[in-house]
Structure 1
Amino acid sequence: MVDSESEKSTSAPSDAFDDVQVDERDQEESDTIALPSHVAGSGALDRLVENARDYATASTAENTNKAYAADWKHFARWCRMKGTAPLPPSPAMVGLYLTDLAAPTGPAPALTVSTIDRRLSGLAWNYAQRGFSLDRKDRHIATVLAGIKRKHARPPVQKEAILPEDILAMVSTLPLDLRGLRDRAILLLGYAGGLRRSEIVSLDVGRDDTPDSGGWIEIMENGALLTLNAKTGWREVEIGCGSSKATCPVHALEQWLHFAKIDFGPVFVRTSRDGKRALDTRLSDKHVARLIKQTVLKSGIRAELPEKDRLALFSGHSLRAGLASSAEVDERYVQKQLGHASAEMTRKYQRRRDRFRVNLTKAAGL
C-alpha cells in the first residue's frame, strides 16, 4: 500500500505523439472564452477574460472537470482510431462510440451502464464548452442508449456501510502521534457528519481563509457546526459531541487542531515524514479513501474475505452510508445531514433499515 505521506501507456510511440497533438488541439478548443475578434485587447480586458475562464472552470467540481477531460480525451482518440474527427458533433458516431463501450470490438472491457451514461454527459459538456450542441435525443444516441440500458443495466453495486463497531475498530488502529490524531479526526468527523471525502479535506478553520476552501468550521460548547459548499449548494452540518472523548468527533478535531497548531487555513494538512509536524499543504481527498482501506485491513473488518475483496467493499462513501444506516433518528434528519434533495436518495444509503415498517398490504386490508 502506498504511503499517504509520500504523495508525490501501453500505446506505441507514434500513438503517444498523436495523443500529444490531440491534447494540444483539445486545449486550444477548450479555451472558448475569449475577446470577440473585433475588440482590441488590453490589460484590463485580458484580466477579465482570465477571470471569466476561472469562473467557467469553477462551474463544475474539480473531480467532475477531471472526469470530463478524460472522457473527451478517450473519445477524441477513439475517433482518430476510426478515421474520423470528434468535431463537429455527429450523433451517429457518438451512438457507435456508446456501442463500442457497451460491447467492445477490441480487448477493452465493457463499461457499466452508469459509466456509459457519465461518458455521454461528459461529451455533451465538452461539446458545449466548444460552442456546439450534442442532441442526446437524436435517435442515433437515444435509441442506442435505451437498448444498452435494457440489455445491460444491473442494480448498482453499493459499497458497504461502516457501522459503529467498525469505525471504533478502525480508529483504534491509529497511532497516538500527530498523524494519528489527524486521521482519527478525519474518520470520526466524516462518519458523524456523513461527509463526502472531498468535503472533509476542503474544510478551512475560518471563513475565507483560502481561495480553494469548500467550507469552514465553528466549534461550540455542544458540538461543531460545519458550513459546506457541497455539490448540491451551501449547507450546514451539525456534529454534536459524542458520549465519550475517545469516540467524540468534536474532541478529536480539537485535539488535532491544538497539537498541530492550526488556527488558520486548511483543517486537514499533510504531516512531516516523522509524523511530528503539520505542514501547509492541504490533503487530497484520495488520502481519505486510502485511510479507510488501510484501517479496514488493520482492524480485521470482514476478515473472512480475501484482502482484495475486503478492499473492494469499502470506499469514502462507506462513511456516509454508515451514518445513514446506523443513526436511530427520523429519516428527515439523516436526509438533512447528508444534504440529499429527496428521501429516496437517502434510502439508497441505508444499507440496513426496516423496509417493511410501513406495511401497505395490511393497510389495504389484506
Structure 2
Amino acid sequence: MTEYTPISADISPKNAVVDDARSTILSAAFGPEPPSYETERRLLSWSKSIAPNTLRAILSDLRIVEAFQSARHQPTLPVSPLDLYSLIEQRAHEGYSKSSIDRLIASMVTLHATLELPSPADDNLRWKQREIRRRDSRPREQARGLRIKGDVEDIEKDAPLPLSLLSLLESIPDDPAGLRDRAMISAGYDAGLRRSELVRVRLEHIHRLPQGEASLFIPRSKTDQEGEGATAWLSSRTLQHIDAWVEKADIEDGYLFRPLSYRVSGTGHLAEGSVSSILKERLRSHLEGLADEGEFDRSQIGGIIKATSAHSLRIGVDQDMIAAGVDIGAIMHGLRWSSPKQPLSYARHLVPATSKLAAKMRGIT
C-alpha cells in the first residue's frame, strides 16, 4: 500500500493514529490519485469521531483485505461483494472464528459507506455469513476471571484459595516493581478497570472517603468516548497498596502506574499491553512457587496463564458480584456496562445458582 500524502495542511489531524488511518485508507481506495476534498474531510471527521482501538481494528481488517486482493492482482478498495464472499469463505476454511469474520465484514461495510463507495455486502454475502455462524459452534473465547477468593462456594465466609486475587497479592514482593504491580492489580480488580483505564489512573483522580475507602474518577472509557466521566469504588486494601507505592516512588501527582525506566514508555504511564504481561508474570511466579511446595498442580499453570489477560481483573470482579447476588443493574452501573449481555456472559456458569428460582428450589429439595 503506497503512502498517501495529505493534500491540505489546514485539516491535517493532530492524532498519530488518525493520521495513519487516513493515509492508509485513502491509499487503499485511491492509490496515488488524490481524492476529492469532500471525501478527505469526510474521512477525517469519521476517523476522529471513533475510538482509537476501533480505528486500529478496522485498519487491521483492511490489511487482511489488501493481502487477499494483492494476491489476486486486484485493488484493495473498493472490494466487491463477490471478492469479500471469497475472502470470508477462505478464512472460515482456515479456521478463523465467526466473530473475526463478522468484524471483517462490518469494517468493510463501514469503510465503503464512509468513502461513499458501493456496498461490499449483498444478500449472498449475508447468507454466507449466516452459514459460517451456524457451522462454527465453538464457544466464544474469553479471558479467565481472577476472582478475589477464587472459585469458592461462599464468597463471604470461605478462605481464599491458592488461585485467587488475594493469594496473588500476598505473594508479590515489596520491591519497587512489586509495590507498583500490587497496587495496579488490586485497583484494576476493585474498579473493574479496562487496561486503557487502568494505565491512565492519576493520583488526583482518587478521592478518599471517611471510612478509609475511596472513589476513583474515570475521565474516559470505552463506553464513554465523549468524556462525561464516571466514578468507581476502591477498597481500603487497595488504598494501602497505593499508599505504599506512592511513598516508595515519591509520586506527588500525575499518572499512578509508571514505568520504572524512562526507556519503557514516553507517555508517562505504563503501556496498555504491559498490564497483561505484568499480570501473567506475577501469576506465573505465584503458581510456580506453590507448585514447588507441592500445593498446586504444575501441569495446570500453562493453561491458566494462557487464559489470563488484563481483562481477567474485570471479569473476576463481575463474577464475584454475580456470585454475591448483586443486582445486574448495580453491576452495570458500577462496572460501566452499557448492556447486561456481556456481564451475564462472563458469569454465565454462576448465574443459575444465584437466581431466585435456585433460591426457591433449595428450600424445597
Name the TM tier (shorter chain). 0.7 to 0.9
The residue correspondences of 1:86-235 to structure 2 (distance < 5 A) are 86-104=76-94, 110-132=95-117, 134=119, 136=121, 138-165=122-149, 166-206=164-204, 216-221=205-210, 222-233=213-224, 234-235=228-229
In structure 2, what is the equivalent of residue 338 of structure 1?
335
CA distance in 1, matches of 2:348, 2:240: 28
In structure 2, what is the equivalent of residue 46 of structure 1?
none
CA distance in 1, matches of 2:194, 2:271: 12
Contact 1:68 1:122 in 2 (8 A): yes
CA distance in 2, matches of 1:198, 1:279: 16
CA distance in 2, matches of 1:316, 1:250: 20
Matched, 1:305 2:302: no
Matched, 1:296 2:287: no
Across the two proteins, how many residue pairs are aligned to each other? Answer: 312
The residue correspondences of 1:323-362 to structure 2 (distance < 5 A) are 323-327=317-321, 328-331=324-327, 332-350=329-347, 352-356=349-353, 357-359=355-357
Question: Using a 3 Å threshold, how does the CA distance of structure 1 residues 160 and 76 change in structure 2: closer, same or farther?
Answer: same
**TM-score of the pair, normalised by structure 1:** 0.73
CA distance in 2, matches of 1:132, 1:263: 52
Contact 1:170 1:295 in 2 (8 A): yes
The structure with the largest helix share of the pair is: 2
In structure 1, what is the equivalent of residue 58 of structure 2?
68
SS in 2 for 1:287: helix
Question: Using a 3 Å threshold, how does the CA distance of structure 1 residues 64 and 280 change in structure 2: closer, same or farther?
Answer: closer
User: Over aligned residue pairs, what C-alpha RMSD do you find?
Assistant: 3.6
Question: Using a 3 Å threshold, how does the CA distance of structure 1 residues 33 and 297 change in structure 2: closer, same or farther?
Answer: farther
| Identity percentage of aligned residues | 21
User: 1:303, CA displacement in angstroms?
Assistant: 3.7
Question: Using a 3 Å threshold, how does the CA distance of structure 1 residues 344 and 68 change in structure 2: closer, same or farther?
Answer: closer
Question: Using a 3 Å threshold, how does the CA distance of structure 1 residues 111 and 73 change in structure 2: closer, same or farther?
Answer: same
Q: Which amino acid aligns with 1:344?
A: K
Q: Bigger CA drift: 288-297 or 264-273?
A: 264-273
SS in 2 for 1:101: helix
CA distance in 1, matches of 2:240, 2:109: 46
Moved over 4 A (4+): 19-27, 29-37
User: 1:189, CA displacement in angstroms?
Assistant: 0.5
Contact 1:112 1:153 in 2 (8 A): no
Give unpaired runs (5+ residues) of structure 1: 1-18, 38-48, 105-109, 207-215, 243-247
Question: Using a 3 Å threshold, how does the CA distance of structure 1 residues 263 and 238 change in structure 2: closer, same or farther?
Answer: same
Contact 2:188 2:314 in 1 (8 A): yes
Q: Deviations over 1:91-137 (max 9, x none)?
A: 11111111111014xxxxx201111111222222333443325354x
SS in 1 for 2:251: coil
The structure with the largest strand share of the pair is: 1
Contact 2:190 2:235 in 1 (8 A): no
